[in-house]
Structure 1
Amino acid sequence: MTLAARLSAIDDRIAEAARRAGRDPGDITRIVVTKFHPAQLVRDLRALGVTEVGENRQQELTAKRADLVDLDDVRWHFIGQAQTNKAAAIRRASDVVHSVDRTRLADALHRAADDDGVLDVLVQVNLTEDAGRGGSTLADAEALAEHVLGLESLRLRGVMAVAPLDEDPASAFARLRAVADRIRVIAPEATWISAGMTGDFVQAIDAGATHLRIGSAITGPRPDRG
């Protein structure tokens, strides 16, 4: 199947799931995750109309954006775990950071601002019981959101999460939706819910996801890094 065919098939499935959930497919943003793929793939995707691209690793994001500087209408989403010592590089290469999971990272991204621009960010929520996984706890997410609201160079857009592998994604995304609703009480403009990947985007749409992160179902198998 060609890249165009895979993209079309996923978009059809997204539209069908949205309609079944009583939602407008136009309210859902599909982010294509191009992890480990060459920059040329992003160029090929742009030729097919894709303008929202996600990357997991700062070095790869920085390199691809530099290679594709002429694609000035592509919005770059950083969706991986972020180290505070890489905050400046992440900020320079990103239009949106989905994985703000602690105040130190939010502060580091804020300190890295070198102009009057504002960086869109989401609070990442850990939906597992494993404290080693990325994300704020459910209990701490609102406090983290309030902290972000106090940083003038950051714009809180909403929440992000990855569903646990050992749980029905519908129940996990319901918890995320509850957190999103609480955060919207203090930040009404924070309407984004970044949730759902290839295997669970239907359940994410049912729970109100506004941004889906789809990788290999569109891009094809990741290249051998060896």
Structure 2
Amino acid sequence: MTAVAERLSAIDAAIADAARRAGRDPAEITRIVVTKFHPAALVSELYGLGVREVGENRQQELSAKAEALAELDDLRWHFIGQAQTNKAGAIRRAAQAVHSVDRLRIAEALDRAATDDLLLDVLLQINLTDDPGRGGVAPTELERLAEQVLALPTLRLRGVMAVAPLDEDPAAAFARVHESAQRLRAVAPGAEWISAGMTGDFAEAIAAGATHLRIGSAITGPRPAQG
């Protein structure tokens, strides 16, 4: 077993244990492997190990890897970084899901970028901090943004995404995400995804109802040095 295979197996076992402790079925939880700065060859190795959900947070890297691995047609790419309107077309061409919609302008840009009849899965990113400069919509504006996104014909609103602040207990942060997700479902009953939880806090996210986890170096290993 390779080192990557060992790390993947260990994380999947830990996710399953956390799910069972929370009284949940591990099959309800989607593990997204974040391959930031790693080569396409690693994604190919992960694919051989059964991984089908991969995340990237930079458009250029997403586009390059998606093109290089286009023959893996059941591989799903999740864009999890801050989206820019001028890159919406490239993001849409490469990704099947965008986790970081936090304003109407980016939602509209993604909608305009449609070139076929396929719907793009989107999640609304919630800002869990008091800093308006951080990515994410203010929780008080969530329903308004949801209604706007629901009016865009090529987007499919799936749920919410959030990152727990470093200076807050993750359990408390994810409890607020859960509450926001419930409010969203009052506006969009089918929006059941909760993208929350990374290597250091996925157990707390699972306990709070997370359906999608974003796990990086705990599976991929240390990121290659950037020149």
Q: TM-score range by the shorter chain?
A: over 0.9
Q: Deviations over 1:164-216 (max 9, x none)?
A: 00000111111111110011011111000000000000000000000000000
Matched residues in 2 for 1:128 and 1:206: separation? 21
Residue 51 of structure 1 is matched in structure 2 by 52
Q: Is residue 123 of structure 2 the alignment partner of residue 119 of structure 1?
A: no
Q: What secondary structure sits across from 1:213 in the alignment? A: strand
Equivalence for 1:97: 98
Unaligned runs of 5+ residues in structure 2 are: none
% identical aligned pairs: 72
Look up the match of 2:204: 203
Q: Secondary structure at the match of 1:159?
A: strand
Within 5 Å, which residues of 2 pair with 1:1-226? 2-226=3-227
TM-score (norm 1): 0.99
Alpha-carbon shift at residue 85 of structure 1 (Å): 0.7
Residues 113-146 of structure 1, C-alpha deviation per residue, up to 9 Å, x if partnerless?
Answer: 1122110000000001111110000100111111
SS in 2 for 1:223: coil
Amino acid in the other structure paired with 1:90: I
Moved over 4 A (4+): none
The answer to which of 180-189 and 203-212 deviates more is 180-189
Aligned partner of residue 61 in structure 1, secondary structure: helix
Equivalent pairs, count: 226
Q: How many Å apart are 1:225 and its aligned residue? A: 1.0
Unaligned 5+ runs, structure 1: none
Structure 1: how far apart are the matches of 2:135 and 2:187?
23
Q: Hey, what's the Cα distance between the residues in 1 that align with 2:20 and 2:31?
A: 15
1:60-114 Cα offsets, whole Å, 9 max, x none, are 0000010001111110000000011101111111000000000000001011111
Measured in 2, the distance between the counterparts of 1:8 and 1:150 equals: 41
- The normalised TM-score by structure 2 is 0.99
RMSD of aligned Cα (Å): 0.7
- Cα distance in 2 for partners of 1:192, 1:116 equals 22
Letter in 2 for 1:89: A
Instruction: State the alpha-carbon separation in 2 of the partners of residues 116 and 12 from structure 1.
Output: 38
